[in-house]
Amino acid sequence: MTETMRPKFWETLPLEALTHNEWEALCDGCGKCCLNKLEFEDTGEVAFTRLACQLLDGETCRCKNYENRRDFVPDCVQVTPERLPNIVYWLPRTCAYRRLHEGKPLLDWHPLISGTTQSVHDARISVQGWTLPETSVPTENWEDYLIEETP
């Protein structure tokens, strides 16, 4: 039996009350959470690189093996309602999970608003077409691949 989603659930329900399918539908498919990040100890700042997880499909901006990703990437951070408060700083500012946690609305290009998954790419929010595989650059050189996160 397929679970149906409640209308505009993101506007009416707290994150903790979402069903599994509703929670997953919040992901806009931008792929930014799959970018490798550097956290600077002295400032706590998180900087994004253009180096993507080995499982990220750079064209679809989706995980190539989402259900089994932790078998291949053991330190993959799973975003859950319970973990969100502790990892929200690590998510991009455009992320639906972060925005809703911070009491902000979804943006117009979000697929739940636009009705199409293509809107995140058309709005140039996704990482589509510009990432490099993390394995192509030694870890000590990741600082050379820092990017500015788009607001």
- Please give the full DSSP string across 8-22, using - where no structure is assigned: THHHHS-GGG--HHH
pTM for the full predicted model: 0.91
Per-residue pLDDT at 150: 52
pLDDT per residue as tens digits for the range 22-59: 999 999 999 999 999 999 889 888 999 999 999 999 99
- For residue 115 the two structure tokens come to 């009705």
pLDDT more than 70, % of the chain:
97
- pLDDT for position 151: 42
- pLDDT greater than 80 at residue 3: no
- Please, which residues have CB within 8 angstroms of residue 107's CB and are 6 or more apart in sequence? 94, 99, 113, 123, 125
Is residue 52 within 8 Å of 134, Cβ to Cβ? yes
> Is pLDDT of 83 > 80?
yes
Alpha helices by DSSP H, listed for the chain, are 9-12, 20-25, 69-72, 84-87, 96-101, 111-114, 119-122
**Tally of helices (H runs) and strands (E runs) in the chain:** 7, 5
CA angle 90, 116, 69 (to 5 degrees): 45
